[in-house]
Amino acid sequence: MSSSTSNFFAATLAAAVALVVSSQAGAQSAPLSAQESDPNVMGWMQGFPPPADKIITQPDSVYFSFPRLRWSVCHLREFLPTEEISRGLSAPVPLTYPSASEFAELRAEIDAVTFMPQNSDAEMTWEQSLYANYTDGMLILHKGEVVYERYFGCLEEDGKHAIMSMTKSFTGLMAEIMVVEGLLDDTALVRDIIPEIGDSAFATATVRQVMDMTTGVQYSEDYSDPNADIWLYSNAASPLPKPEGYVGPNGYWEYLQQVMPEGNHGDAFHYKTINSDMLGWIISRVSGQSVTDVVSDRLWRRMGVEQDAYQTVDAKGVPFAGGGITAGLRDLGRLGQLMLNEGELNGQRLFPTEVVAKISAGGDRSKFGDGFPTFGAGSYTSQWWVLHNAHGAYAARGVHGQTIYVDPTAEMVLVRLSSFPKAQIGFIDPTSLPAYQAVAEHLMATRP
């Protein structure tokens, strides 16, 4: 395992650079399969106490390395300080299900759907793709009704799962709502909103450039260099007391104050998590609330969710706006449905239609570059990934394969929670994106 996948912070902070799978896969020994690495099969944390070799404990180089991470993605709060994203005190609004017999039939049909993975000439079934991608939970809503729901590994219907970089899409959605409502000026410079950003490269970026990750900021990810930015950020982010003699920044926001420039703002999309944390700071400064409270007030208390969510924090209590959220599968489905409905859920309008219209329209494709070949010629805007495919699909994406995938043409919302061994989404897309498209087409054909 490279160190990139054995540290919770670094894994989320990483660019998840897509690699050409064919040239890389052969060079590495195959990890345990999804079935072999199932936490229940591995026996992690079973017994009181568990056997010494089955205890998962600090530091994150242990608890967040494969195969242990397959247990830890459902238990992040047991390792890290966290802040609640409260659902409030009201009753959940249940999701809509077909009859039990129809539901079973739908599942069998969907499991049998076939598709052709990228760079492959061997057909795969939907069900095979779940295991290929180390799926922990899969939920599909079609026309507002649950048509598929399965749990694997560490996840159960009343459990929660780390969504990692999908967190960025929460942060971006909050910012876009504030922009559309006139609370946040996306043409403003960061330094005009946060003067103490000082000489940081972020100072002269616009809010929109931060939202779309087109800032020109230096952020190196050379894991072999102990002074690479990713390690400095990871150290700054850790909520644990700093080691004796530590002189670096303490917390996300101190880190952001010392970011160096690289290239020009606005030139190109560069997937760098520090933008999301910069955006979190902007949201908090403008709203006067932590991002956890903003998400609670704007979404979680109004969506009829079943479970509180939570978000990891740094040593100063600042939530990790670029990757810290853990939530339940169905509640993420509710968020996807809210997006599909362009801001309405359970008969209530939560934000203007324009918010989703702007996100789903996508960003400037000419700036997207070729860093994510498995994703295709898409774009990234307001911290959402836009496919620019025939169905107009867009997605929130996490580095171990997590997603909320919204397909407006098929009226389909799909949520996957997963714990793929590598923090490299380029290995995950080839058996994911074609599968989502195939299921969308299947649902359109069979439930017109």
Which of 132, 13, 126, 137 minimizes the C-alpha distance to 73? 137
Strand partners, 417: 137
Task: Tell me how far apart the alpha carbons of residues 271 and 265 are, in angstroms, rounded to a whole number.
Answer: 13
Under the criterion CB under 8 A, does residue 348 sit at the interface with a copy of itself? no
The 208-247 site mask, x for binding a copy of itself (CB under 8 A), equals -------------------------------xxx------
Min separation Cβ 289 and a copy of itself, Å: 8
Whose structure tokens read 């295709």? 376
Task: Tell me how far apart the alpha carbons of residues 156 and 345 are, in angstroms, rounded to a whole number.
Answer: 24
Which of 332, 325, 329 minimizes the C-alpha distance to 83? 325
Specify burial of residue 255 (Cβ count, 10 A radius: 0-12, 13-18, 19+).
Answer: buried
Which of 63, 37, 258, 257 minimizes the C-alpha distance to 154? 37
Helix or strand run (H / E) with residue 137: strand 135-142
Min separation Cβ 239 and a copy of itself, Å: 7
Indicate which single residue of 38, 83, 212, 407 sits in contact with a copy of itself (rule: CB under 8 A): 83
Task: Tell me how far apart the alpha carbons of residues 423 and 427 are, in angstroms, rounded to a whole number.
Answer: 9
Give φ, ψ of 344 to 5 degrees: -115, 145
Q: Is 65:98 a contact under the CB 8 Å cutoff?
A: no
Q: Which is nearer to a copy of itself, 6 or 424 (CB)?
A: 6
Tokens matching residue 184: 């946040």
Under the criterion CB under 8 A, does residue 175 sit at the interface with a copy of itself? no
Under the criterion CB under 8 A, does residue 171 sit at the interface with a copy of itself? no
Indicate which single residue of 1, 3, 84, 98 sits in contact with a copy of itself (rule: CB under 8 A): 84
Under the criterion CB under 8 A, does residue 53 sit at the interface with a copy of itself? no
Min separation Cβ 54 and a copy of itself, Å: 11
Q: Which is nearer to a copy of itself, 22 or 57 (CB)?
A: 57
Min separation Cβ 83 and a copy of itself, Å: 5
Q: Which is nearer to a copy of itself, 80 or 345 (CB)?
A: 80
Tokens matching residue 322: 């670029």
Q: Which is nearer to a copy of itself, 253 or 384 (CB)?
A: 253
Under the criterion CB under 8 A, does residue 51 sit at the interface with a copy of itself? no
Under the criterion CB under 8 A, does residue 109 sit at the interface with a copy of itself? no
Under the criterion CB under 8 A, does residue 79 sit at the interface with a copy of itself? yes
Burial 38-58 (b: 16+ CB within 10 A, else e): bbeebebbeeeeeeeeeebee
The 308-347 site mask, x for binding a copy of itself (CB under 8 A), equals x-x--x-xxxx-----------------------------
Q: Total binding residues for a copy of itself by CB under 8 A?
A: 44
Q: Is 290:312 a contact under the CB 8 Å cutoff?
A: no
Which of 375, 435, 337, 401 minimizes the C-alpha distance to 136? 401
Indicate which single residue of 36, 102, 105, 157 sits in contact with a copy of itself (rule: CB under 8 A): 157
How many residues make up the chain in this entry? 448
Under the criterion CB under 8 A, does residue 144 sit at the interface with a copy of itself? no
Which of 127, 117, 23 minimizes the C-alpha distance to 429? 117
Under the criterion CB under 8 A, does residue 59 sit at the interface with a copy of itself? yes
For residue 444, which amino acid is it? M
- Please tell me whether residue 205 adopts helix, strand or coil conformation: coil
Strand partners, 311: 83, 325
The 268-307 site mask, x for binding a copy of itself (CB under 8 A), equals -------------x--xx--x-x---------------xx
Min separation Cβ 311 and a copy of itself, Å: 10
Q: Which is nearer to a copy of itself, 54 or 358 (CB)?
A: 54
The residues that touch a copy of itself, with contacts defined as CB under 8 A, are: 45, 48-49, 55-59, 75, 77-84, 86, 88-92, 157-158, 239-241, 251, 253, 281, 284-285, 288, 290, 306-308, 310, 313, 315-318
